Amino acid sequence: MNRVLAIGLVLSVSGLAQPAEAPKPTAPATAPAPAAPAPAADLPAGIVAEGAKAERICTGHKFTEGPVWIASSATAGGGYLLFSDIPADTIFKWTPGGGGERGEGGELTKSKAEPWLSPSGNSNGLTLDTQGRLLIAQHAGSVSRRDKLAVPEVLAEKFEGKQLNSPNDLCVRSDGVIYFTDPPYGLRPPLGPEDRKKMLDFSGVYMLKPDGSLTVLIKDMPTPNGIALSPDEKTIYVADTSRGNARAYAVNADGTLGEGRPFAELKFESGPRAGKSAGADGVRVDEKGNVYIAASGGAWVFDPEGKKLGVIRIEGSATNLCFGGPDRKTLFITGGSSVWAVRTLVAGLPTPLPTPKK
């Protein structure tokens, strides 16, 4: 079987919800490894190896979202993963390495993810700024930044004097400009801290400049969600969950956006929900400009022109994704109570983005 994080390390997992006894490491496996799965009909060729399968690396959470890989030469595996559990109001940290427990099919079944920040403001999307500081989209109604052990600093919480809805996801241009989406999903529990009245009469996509100025760029999307830049930073992709699509916008030199164009449809193709939205959510881009969008069934992959290449499957619906590992060729996928990972053939864009070559 094509194993996750093929970097000569053994992934680890342990109990999460209760700090009681830590599970005992399992002895080296003596049973034969499970047979490689048959290739899925829609597995994206050239994106993952033939027969590749996403593997569950931790579970037992309430609703996972917003993963980001933090590179660290001091950590086995070259770094660690942070991800949000929105209803748990917690950011968790998952580190590869150690013993671990596996299910009958060989999958990792218990999490060694540990609480890293709680409360988190019902955090959703996570990314890094140009100085490597953590940026947090918080359903509590703000975008904040956390530097080392400091208390998160609020960067944006109001637009024209009105409280933001519930910042959902974000990305950063190489000059430090932050783009974030602000749908209404966190205005009530369990994805928000309390029932709040929607103060803005739109769901927006915003530009937050390093000087603190906040500009709304898109106001005509009912549910803007995942957001990501192309490798040359000339295009930004925004998922619209309720409409089941993603749009592409030209990025001007000053950071503002041009007219949007249809980029990809994410809708069920058959069955009782045919034609309905498949729940376009988080968005990421690889070095070749391919676009990965979390939705029902897993990570939907499109080429730079919007042609669907296939789906990297997980159980249930994917909510978000990111690239990580020392070579940025491990795709982490959040969804439901779990986090999944699969090795890719193409590296994801680094976080934060480097200055594009002229």
Return the pLDDT at 344: 95
> Quick one: average pLDDT of 276-280?
90
Return the pLDDT at 102: 46
| Whether 82 contacts 71, CB under 8 Å | no
| Residue bearing the bigger pLDDT, 269 or 4 | 269
**Which string of DSSP letters, residue by residue, matches 143-209?**
EEEE-TTSPPEEEE-EETTEE------EEE-TTS-EEEEE-SGGGSTTSSSS-----SSS-EEEEE-
**Cα 43 to Cα 50, 79, 324, 344, distances in angstroms:** 8, 28, 20, 12
Q: How far apart are CA 278 and CA 280, in angstroms?
A: 6
| Whether 299 contacts 311, CB under 8 Å | yes
Q: How far apart are CA 227 and CA 303, in angstroms?
A: 16
> Quick one: average pLDDT of 106-128?
81
Write the CB contacts of 84 (distance below 8 Å, at least 6 apart in sequence). Answer: 64, 65, 66, 90, 91, 92, 120, 123, 124, 125, 126, 334
Q: How confident is the model at residue 357 (pLDDT cuts 50, 70, 90)?
A: low
Q: Quick check: 138 pLDDT over 90?
A: yes
Beta strands across the sheet bearing 204-208: 170-172, 178-182, 204-208, 214-218
Instruction: Centre a 10 Å sphere on the Cβ of residue 188 and count the other Cβ atoms it contains.
Output: 15
Q: Quick check: 322 pLDDT over 80?
A: yes
Structure tokens at 306: 């919007």
| Residue bearing the bigger pLDDT, 22 or 127 | 127
Give the up-direction half-sphere exposure of residue 160: CA atoms within 13 A in the CB hemisphere: 8
- Over residues 21-43, the pLDDT tens digits come to 333 323 222 233 333 333 345 88
Q: For the domain bounded by 76-279, which CATH number is listed?
A: 2.120.10.30
- Over residues 29-82, the pLDDT tens digits come to 223 333 333 334 588 889 999 888 999 998 889 999 999 999 988 777 788 999
**Cα 303 to Cα 119, 128, 155, 171, distances in angstroms:** 38, 25, 34, 20
Q: How far apart are CA 260 and CA 236, in angstroms?
A: 9
Q: How far apart are CA 142 and CA 241, in angstroms?
A: 20
Mean pLDDT, the chain, rounded, equals 84
- Over residues 225-268, the pLDDT tens digits come to 999 999 999 999 999 999 999 999 999 999 999 989 999 999 88
Q: Quick check: 314 pLDDT over 70?
A: yes
Return the pLDDT at 42: 80
Return the pLDDT at 17: 29
* Helix (H), strand (E) at residue 313: strand 308-317
Domain boundaries, the chain: 76-279
pTM, two decimals, is 0.85
- Over residues 285-309, the pLDDT tens digits come to 999 999 999 999 999 999 999 999 9
Placement of tokens 């034609």 in the chain: 275
| Whether 346 contacts 167, CB under 8 Å | no
